[in-house]
Structure 1
Amino acid sequence: MNVFKSEVEALEYVLQSLENEQDNIFERAELAIRHCKKTLEVVRQRVSQLGFKTLQEEAVFFKEIKSTIVGYLFYYISLVQVERARPYGCPKKERKFLIAQIKAMQAYLMKHQELYEYFLRSHDYRDQDYFIRKNAPYQLSDEAIASMVDFQFATPHDMIFSKIKGYVLSINHLEKRLAIPLTSTANKSKANLQWTGSKADLVELTYALHASGLVNNGTAAIKDLAQGMEQLFAIKLGDYYRIFLEIRARKNNQAKLLEMLRTSLISKIENLDG
């Protein structure tokens, strides 16, 4: 079971990296889904080849391992669906739309309230009813189809459990979105500062601050720093992760801006000192 947990931990590390570094939600979701599918195939092959030593191990796998991976799939797919349908240009309509999406997901959770509470309370007393393949009775629901088509790698409840996990993540994400002002003027810098260098220069500065650990005692994510720069200078960096890859690919002087800043500062000090 430890090898399965290691696969999930490795996946979650990659997903967190994407959250921190990839600003474009469609590209982030595409990459995340690709990694989820790859991890799911790895664990599927291992289950097919080796099976489980005990019923408890089988229940833990479908309850904690598979449902976590598939839960992330539901999460990223729902993010894309919401983003594609989200109304742009009108903050009130956007807010109303996001609230409606949250209510729809909450309705699903209430539809499966028993299993949802089972998840919230981390119960285990019905694990062998829910997450053992041969013990679980068939259900007449869309999610149960997976256990009929691929009965070696599904139980009638693990897909519902996965969807619950994915929707909980999605609801948390959308609620955070609602906590941020949606007006177009909200992100404009009050100091009216304008960045007149290139975006690559600002990305270089942002990554330098992140690497230095000088913000929030080193706990600030690159995504948060990038958003802070965007707000401060009223600029949209776009795909700053791709820009950073281009900086890394420079054959010479990868820290071009920092070298220029160092030279400018020393020159100013020397001029002031006479």
Structure 2
Amino acid sequence: MTTQQATLAFHDGRRIPQLGLGTWKLTGETAVPAILAALEAGYRAIDTAYIYYNETEVGQAIARSGIPRNELFVTTKVWNNRHGHDEPKAALEESLERLGLDAVDLFLIHWPVPMEHRYIETWQALIQLRDEGLAKSIGVCNFEIDLLQELLDQTGVLPVLNQIELHPYFQQKALRAFHADHGILTQAWSPLGHGSVLQDPVFLELAHQLQATPAQVILAWHLQSGHLAVPKSGNAQRIRENFNVWNLHLDDDAMARIAALDRADGRTGADPMRFHLMEG
């Protein structure tokens, strides 16, 4: 197994490992062992959020790993009920206390909650947090093209990345093209489509041909497409398998077959323009 992986450059000059560990639903006694297994396998990026209720466990795993802080890339997110001018700083300070860190590498707006129309004010707060050094880079999740353009028009600052639902059944080609045109990296949450894609005949066939798992083939597609991805698993073996993709190559025919799987109804998560959950 190789632990050498690619990194991609942000437009602010910093870099991020292309493959990270997603930690949604990793809570309680399963969280720390899973994160330690990922770090042992070679992951160096960990994606958490306030609403995952596991920042304390992420911090414990980081401390127990013995890996120098400067070799790790830690992301967390501000939840919908902490939007505004002052709340993001308080939220980040609370997250840092739980994580046991002085700063995060990346701080994201988790959802735009457009009906509240506070995402511009929240973005301005994140810019200030970046300038203060509490977050080394800043970005967003689940922002559509019009919202990204509004961030640019109102503040002159674009996110370094947009973390979006992205998998072979929901490829978001127009949004990815906007990202590419504006220097925004695309990061996939639910990169395996909540598992729904794994039984697709295309991936079963390619996995057989390449002597890989269907998940490895899907992650290889993400990496070759230039995406960042944060697959989640609490199973140590799958965590290791998901990371062991760096020598897997998909030819042009395989990439074309996967491109053809895109579906108009492929979204499995919430619609960002409608999602309005405020509790947390």
Which structure has the highest helix share of the two? Answer: 1
Q: Which one has the largest radius of gyration?
A: 1
TM-score by length of 2: 0.29
Report which of the two has the higher share of strand. Answer: 2
Using the size of structure 1 for normalisation, the TM-score is: 0.30
